[in-house]
Chain A
């Protein structure tokens, strides 16, 4: 986590593990975008993905009191965001099933849409876990010209 926030320090921050921290995260993301001159067209998707991944960590990281780290970095044509969640069991967000959009409204439920949509809004999403530190690390990238991560997953599934 130290390395993640090493440079530049203004683009990395730790947030309390609570839903109310979302307003602080939105303000942080806005500040980083303004300071670094990132394309604001990326902001809605980046905000969405960060919220979904952060709230997921809050919901399922019960028992951990560690803050959740969010770091934003520049990449060619866009941004890379990393969330680090410590003192938690593994939960690979890339393996969560898609929501079934074919169900009639009577059978649709609110849950399950967050990760489904995140995979369609960002270009790449990767997950890793350190058992020694009990630390989940989620990285996603969003560029102006990129294709949704869900398309790559669908191609992989088709190849299997």
Chain B
């Protein structure tokens, strides 16, 4: 199960499991965001390579128009995945508090 929605402060909040079965819905949502966006991942329990692909595609699109996607509230497991994927070189990552 995955939920993704924009908070009142413009932060996009993603919660649940971003796996191959949910990647298409997540991509459809993120295809609509513009500019510089923070993705609150503090409630993201799990991400697979399909989910990473969604983040990468979104970052490439936003950076192409001068914006960016920042990842916030990143827990240890998600952080490990991001580093193994080299995404720490592509994204600004803010660890979970």
- Give A contacts to B, CB under 8 Å: 19-20, 22-23, 26, 44, 47-48, 51-52, 55, 99, 101-102, 105-106, 108-111, 113-114, 116-117, 120-121
Contacts and interface: CB of A to CB of B under 8 A. Distances in A.
Interface of A is mostly: helix
A44 B46 contact: yes
A99 B46 CA distance: 21
Interface string B53-85: 110110110010000000000000100010011
B48 interface: yes
Nearest to B64: A106
B86 interface: yes
Interface of B: 1, 17, 19-21, 46, 48-50, 52-54, 56-57, 59-60, 63, 77, 81, 84-86, 89-90
Contact of A47 (B1, B46, B86): B46
Q: Which 5 A-B pairs have the closest CB atoms?
A: A110-B53, A101-B86, A114-B49, A113-B49, A22-B21
Given A110-B57, A117-B81, A117-B85, A105 B90 contact: yes
A108 B89 CA distance: 12
Given A51-B20, A106-B60, 19 more contacts: A23-B21, A47-B46, A48-B81, A55-B20, A99-B85, A101-B85, A105-B56, A105-B60, A108-B56, A108-B86, A108-B90, A109-B56, A110-B52, A110-B53, A110-B54, A110-B57, A113-B53, A117-B49, A117-B85
Given A105-B60, A110-B56, A113-B53, A22 B46 contact: no
B82 to A, nearest CB: 10
- Residue among B63, B86, B89 with the highest chain A CB neighbour number at 10 A: B86
